[in-house]
Amino acid sequence: MDYFLAMESQIVNPVKRANRRYFIEFGVAMVAYVVVIFASRWLLRGPMEHAAGGWQIAIAVLPVIPVVLVFAAVVRLLRATDELSRQICVDSLAIAGGVTALLAVTYGLIEGGRLPHLSAWWTYVTFMATWGVASLFVQRRYR
């Protein structure tokens, strides 16, 4: 970590510094997510298997904490990056939100009887995938 922080201090361009900080924060949050999700599963299948319901729910949602860290990293990046990068990111997020909502409503209308009921996880997966694809298309507008 000291190595990365030392490298960060040598970069003058605030956008480069913000990007490097984001990748470090994102990487740390992702490692934390993997560790916490394995720890959470292990606790629920082992020592905490017969714990009270409240405790089990608390342990099950522990992996949300690193996800909050990812969210905080994205917000920090948005605040520190330059105006065009921010516009591209916000436009992509808006498109991803709109497309995800449209797909969720469409599937919600036809599921049950006609199509299988899907887990709420798919909303998150769809949003993240759409955000990635939308970013590519929005970036192309400015080349």
Partner 1 sequence: MKNRLKVLRAERDWTQADLADRAGVARQTIVALENGKYSPSLVLAYRFSRIFGRPVEEIFDPQDEDGEANE
Instruction: List contacts with partner 1 (CB under 8 A).
Output: 12-16, 19, 81-85, 139, 141-143
Residue 139: CB minimum distance to partner 1, A? 7
Nearer to partner 1 by C-beta: 85 or 123? 85
Residue 138: CB minimum distance to partner 1, A? 11
Nearer to partner 1 by C-beta: 114 or 140? 140
Alpha-carbon span 42 to 57, nearest angstrom: 14
Nearer to partner 1 by C-beta: 18 or 59? 18
Nearer to partner 1 by C-beta: 18 or 96? 18
Residue 137: CB minimum distance to partner 1, A? 14
Residue 1: CB minimum distance to partner 1, A? 25
For 20: left if phi > 0, alpha if psi spans -120 to 50, otherwise beta; the answer is alpha
